Amino acid sequence: MIASNKPSKFRVRIERQDGPDQPAYWQEFEVPTTANQNIITVLQQIASNPTTIDGTKVRPVVWDCGCLEEVCGACTMVINGKARQSCSCLVDEFFEGSSNDQVITIQPMSKFPVMRDLFVDRQRMFDNLTKLKAWVPVDGTHALGPGPKESPAEQEDRYALSRCMTCGCCLEACPQFTKDNDFVGAQAIAQALYFNEHPTGAKLKGERLDVLMGPGGVSDCGNAQNCVKVCPKEIPLTEAIAKVGRQLTVHAVKSFFTGKK
């Protein structure tokens, strides 16, 4: 849908930072309106002529992106106060029912270290997946024969979890996930469930649950449910956290009575 009152140009405010541990500052640009314009297009237009509204020539804005198809997860930014994928965020929606002086505000995610401008370091997300052994254990590369069979219903349940692209939207929206704590967040918990419910991945289920019982695990979740509201892939994150919580209860009881993990 193209807004009928869409202006010929609009303003973009960008929170910038020259490097890690450098102070943040704002710059404002004016961008011409084009058809089917997304936020990545806006940043490319600014990069082609990095001049602020007051006429100052500045260096191009730095950002991260890859696929431009909402698959890689690299281009997450905070756009008008909401964590979103900038490749699928269309400019038109900001002018629907609004005045022509609408300003689009773009900021880097606040829950990850800023490397420069809108480019942040999401390494913590991948480290958490490593901590939880979020993989299917396979011994060697030789033929192991056919794998265990899954029902269509089981495949469908796990497929919903497999859509995660480690974009960080859920963590940016989570009040419990901060730079200074160890909480792994909804993304890692959902991926733990994904592999726990895989017939072969379940071989490491106990080890994953041991991690999630400790500091930074499921007990740190405050059930704000912001994560599921902002997930661009509509992953059932709150359901996943609840399922892992039930798995932890069973795991704890078994461990108590058997002495085994």
- Check residue 6 and give its pLDDT: 74
Check for a shared fold between 9-120 and 123-138+147-258: no
Q: Pairing mode, if any, of strands 82-85 and 24-32? A: unpaired
Q: Which two tokens stand for residue 166?
A: 């480690």
Residue 251 one-letter amino acid = H
Angle between helices 185-196 and 123-131 (to 10 degrees): 30
By the 8 A CB rule, do 38 and 87 touch? yes
Residue 2: per-residue pLDDT: 46
What DSSP assignment string belongs to 33-83?
--TT-BHHHHHHHHHHS-B-TTS-B-PPPP---S-SSSSS-TTEEEETTEE
Residue 139: what pLDDT? 73
Structure confidence by residue, pLDDT tens digits, 61-99: 999 999 999 999 999 999 999 999 999 999 998 886 655
Task: Say which CATH superfamily domain 9-120 falls into.
Answer: Beta-grasp domain (3.10.20.30)
pLDDT of residue 98: 56
Domain 123-138+147-258, CATH 1.10.10.10 — does that match? Answer: no
Q: Domain coordinates of the chain in residue numbers?
A: 9-120, 123-138+147-258
pLDDT recorded at residue 5: 65
Sequential pLDDT tens for the chain (261 residues): 444 567 889 999 999 999 999 999 999 999 999 999 999 999 999 999 999 999 999 999 999 999 999 999 999 999 999 999 999 999 998 886 655 567 999 999 999 999 999 999 999 999 999 999 999 987 777 787 888 888 999 999 999 999 999 999 999 999 999 999 999 999 999 999 999 999 999 999 999 999 999 999 999 999 999 999 999 999 999 999 999 999 999 999 998 888 765
pTM of the shown model: 0.91
